[in-house]
Structure 1
């Protein structure tokens, strides 16, 4: 699963009006920063959780591969790339990121102490949260089970 940092609460629906279901974006400049190299690992069907300024983990999306959107006047960083997604589950209780990641002993070089590092926008947690129970249309399932479900 991927963690995506939206600590500035960007309004993706308002910014990307021509693309349905945008859940996150990164600029060319951000992608070229090695801190965000995990962005290049996102592919069709991956799970992602966008974390806002509240630092709570609530919604799990099944996402697309990154799509080149282009430049937007007034936006910094050059060409923007977006991922779209479909809500597939909710994390019960909307726990804060750091305690939840600590509970599962998550380790990532860009999340020291399971907190954001400078310039951090995306982290591939792989299967470290596969045991996390989430609420989907099928009921309470693990992330591992959710990864295998066909989403319509």
Structure 2
């Protein structure tokens, strides 16, 4: 294997490990965790990727693109059904949306709208993520503070949706 192939292989190993960490929990996507999983130091990671936030962005987009390709093998009644499917397939997307990953939110909204006969707004996607989080948190008996905050955000978003006459379907 020549030097260029070796570099590409190392980059791919880092990327695949980052994808795996992202799918487990987007907060686990750190240089230290990638280095630990690949048995390497953190320095080479930064030589391949400008920053961990940039790598995170690439991984999130890659995940959405893979799910988009997979979504074409199913039939969905609406963009809402498709959005729920995305969030169920990769719960880390919900976490990232609630962490205000604007790039992911825009990319996911665009991907859903391209694959669906109707459209969904970013506001609707945020409300679905909040609802999904509430469902998981209630089943896991998560902290009351986090639940209260999420319920409050969901109520505010619903009020905004109603006052601005946004429709779901």
Range class of TM-score, shorter chain: under 0.3
Instruction: Flag the structure with higher strand content.
Output: 1
Larger RCO, structures 1/2 (Cα 8 Å, 6+ apart): 1
Select the structure of larger CA radius of gyration: 2
Q: TM-score, normalised by structure 1?
A: 0.26
Instruction: Flag the structure with higher helix content.
Output: 2
